[in-house]
């Protein structure tokens, strides 16, 4: 199954000039969604991943089932003000602004091997900020994995510390 056929392009969303890659048709399609999750799992099974770390919100859609299938824990990275316990924060740049991410201070331990998962790689700012948070906690980022990569935005350049995998590129 070609999962890229289930991703639609929406021009001028969320702001003029952005071509948004909408994954909701893929999520709706039973076989397409299963195939997408299987691509991640096939690539990373047997790699000794302790935790799958995913960023709010669409990263959770992929991160949790991938963690389950790999037999790993799942760590959510959230937007500010959403986590109830002690947390670390990191600001990052988007292709159209800035934002901040947070993780619980006890989410990951020294030497834990993590897979960072998100739906889309654009500038790499979100994943790089997540990796900075994880390194501050002592974790090792084994790889970054994305369903979609927007190659023109050169996000891989921000993620030079580990393997970068994307299954669909535009």
User: Among the options 35, 43, 78, 95, which is catalytic?
Assistant: 95
Answer yes or no: 95 catalytic: yes
User: Among the options 35, 43, 58, 113, which is catalytic?
Assistant: 58
Backbone angles phi, psi at 85, to 5 degrees: -105, 180
Answer yes or no: 102 catalytic: no
- Which conformational region is residue 34 in: left (phi greater than 0), alpha (psi within -120 to 50 degrees), or beta? alpha
Q: Looking at the annotation, which residues are catalytic?
A: 58, 95
């Amino acid at each position: 199954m070609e999962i890229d056929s289930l991703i639609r392009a929406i021009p001028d969303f969320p702001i003029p000039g952005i071509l948004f890659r909408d994954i909701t048709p893929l999520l709706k399609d039973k076989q397409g969604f299963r195939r997408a999750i299987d691509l991640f799992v096939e690539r990373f099974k047997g790699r000794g991943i302790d935790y799958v770390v995913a960023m709010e919100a669409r990263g959770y859609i992929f991160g949790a089932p991938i963690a389950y299938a790999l037999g790993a824990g799942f760590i959510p990275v959230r937007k500010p003000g959403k986590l109830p316990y002690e947390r670390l924060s990191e600001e990052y740049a988007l292709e159209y602004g800035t934002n901040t991410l947070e993780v619980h201070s006890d989410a990951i331990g020294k030497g834990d091997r993590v897979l960072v998962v998100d739906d889309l790689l654009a500038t790499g700012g979100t994943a790089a900020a997540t990796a900075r948070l994880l390194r501050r906690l002592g974790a090792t980022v084994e790889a970054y994995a994305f369903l979609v990569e927007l190659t023109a935005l050169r996000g891989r350049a921000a993620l030079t510390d580990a393997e970068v995998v994307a299954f669909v590129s535009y």
